[in-house]
Each structure stands twice: as C-alpha cells, then as structure tokens.
Structure 1
Amino acid sequence: MIDSEIKEALAELINISYGSATAAIADLFDSFARLKVPGIQIVSVGDVEYVVLGKIDNEANLYITTQMFKGAFEGEILFVIDQQSAYNMQNIICLLEGVCTDQKEDDTETRQSIMEIANILGVSCIGKLAELLDSVVSFLPPSIELNNRLLIAQEKVGYSKVLIISTLLEFEKEQITGHLFILFDDEMFIWLKKSLYAFIEENT
C-alpha cells in the first residue's frame, strides 16, 4: 500500500511524535515509563480485524476511545486496550496513590485513566506528525466505550485506510499493551503520502 521509503519516514516521524508522549505519561503516573512502538502498518478498513487477529482478542471486551481531529489532515483516532492491560494500568495507579477500587464493580476510574492516556497518545502522535509535515490539526473531545467489536461505528463513515500503531507501555512491574488506530479516507491518504515524500526530499 505504501513503499518502504515513506513507511520508514512515517515510522521515524511517529517515533519522534511519541517522544513527548513518554514524558507526559510518566508524569501522569508519577512513575518511570518506557513507551515503545513495536509495529506500524497502513491497511484498508476491511482488513483491520484480520491484521490485528492474534494481537487483540476480538471475543473479549475492549476499551475503545475515539477522538476526531480536523485540519488539512483529518480523520479519527481510536485507542484500543483490552481489559487485562486496563487492570494492569489501574494497579499501577492503585500502588502509587494507595487508593484501590473494585474495577469489576466500578470502572469509572479505569475509563478516566484510559481516556487520559489515549488523549496524550493521540494528540502527541497526530499533533506532532501534522506539525512535522507543516500542517495543523485540532481535536474534538474524546469518548470511551466497552465493546467487543473494532470499528463498529466507523465502518459506515467513509473511512478507507487505517494507520495501526502498536503501543507498548512498560513500567517497572507492569506492561500495558494497546493499539492506536488512525482512520482516514482516500483523499487524506493521498495527502499523507505527498507530505511524506515532501518531508523525505527536504531531509535528504
């Protein structure tokens, strides 16, 4: 779907974008954190569940945070995390703050923490990516739901491509695994490729 040259450029820009997110997440948890990006792919919307099969258990409930972004480059951000990683995250907060709740009875705090992480990742990734590509985006407020289907509400919106960014947050005793999905249409895909080629030409 994209050649190796612009895929490498995209990976470089996303890693730069995630650099600021690491510090923000460490501050959020008041703890040392390491943020890794094990993989980056661009696929068609219809191939998403096939591509992530084995990485995300689609039979289990997933916390899915959604956030729209607008500008020369626009689309929708989804941050997806399974319940086990969400519990791991809340355990870190519990240990740091000394205040624990029964997550199975009340996941309000878990949802809030996920939304904060999703907002940091989304704004850092898309905001910095747009900046590096000489553009500006704005963000709408995020929302969150618990569901066992990916892209359930996005399938009819007109998105054609999905940028999948695997995300691994490592703390001293816990790991949080999630996936950031950036959804956009064919017009935005063309814009992204042209912008990446321009970035490569300016930096070679």
Structure 2
Amino acid sequence: MTAHASTTTRRTAERASARAVLTPHLLPVGGCSGKRRGSGRSGAVRAAGALGASMVTVHSGGGTGIMAAAVAAARDFPRLRVLALTVVTSMTGSDLADVGVDASTEEQVLRLGRLAHRAGCHGVIASPQEAAQLRGVLGAGSLIVTPGVTLPGEERAEHARPGTPRAAIAAGASHIVLGRSVTRAPDPVAAVRLARADLAADG
C-alpha cells in the first residue's frame, strides 16, 4: 500500500510533515517470497521515507528484530523517525488479560518502551497517562507521541486512558495527536483553538 501511495498522499507529504502508520510486523523478513529484500517491512519503511514522511510506526509487539529492521531501513532518510506503538489507548488491563498479557497497561507500556529503546527506535506511541513514566525510562532524547488526547470537558469516547493536551505535554509527551476531538467536532476550528488555549494555560 505504501509503495503505491496515491497522488493525494504524495502531495500531502510534499506540503507538510506526513506521518505514515504501517504494520510491518505482518510481513516476513524478506517479503512474501523471502527473496525480495526490498519488500516487506523494510521496503514499507523506505517507501514512507521516499514519500517524505517524518514518522513511521511499527508495532513493538512484533519484537526486537522487527523494530531494529525498521530502524535500519530508516537510516537512508535522516528526517524519518521510527516510533514503536506500545498499547493502544482503547485497551485496559482487562483487555490485556484477554489476550494473555499478565500485566497492567502501565507495566506493559513500560516493558515495550524499554524494548523499543533497546532496538534503536526514536520514540514510542502511548497514552498520556504513561507519558511521565516513559519519559523517566527513555530519557530526554526520545519522542513520546500521545494519541488519546481529549479536550477539556470532553467525553473520553473510546479512549480508556485519555488526557488533555496540557496534561500530556506536562507529563513528558513530545507530540500530541488530536484526532476525533477535532474531526468529529461540530466546529473543528473552535476545537483546535480550545486545544491551543489548554496548552497555553498556566498551572
């Protein structure tokens, strides 16, 4: 999909920093045939870099090898940062238990964050509620990108571990993701202004 990106995707990447969300752990090391080394996860990362993407996502649950391969593929693109997805913001400890993970969401996020750091990833994706603990583990140089950001007074919707823009940044996030809070708002411009006001608030 990434290698055959639409004209719209290419134009977006040319005009602004584009973030590509990929799932390279679904593909074998050498591509589907095992012979084409440029295909598979490494090829997807390189395709994202060629499009001008500034961030690409890999699933930390795929293991160290997959993350390290993504990092290696990104080296040809100095602006491209590899982010490891830890635990999606809709999941709870009960959800983790359902899939056989005997840990709290915080414990699992930190475990995967350490794994991603050792694999050379430039940062991680986690909820605002784990940002502070991750910053302590990963140090000042790592990116921490937080989806699950909700506006002040907004319902948490599908996010099990939300936080406001200001709370996320105060906890150590380097980037916040404002998705449905803006795209589903009756007045998206007003929603963005509310987020900016929250970020600028004191205390």
TM-score, normalised on structure 2?
0.24
- The structure with higher relative contact order (CA 8 Å, sep 6+) is 1
TM-score, normalised on structure 1?
0.24
Q: Which has the higher strand share?
A: 1
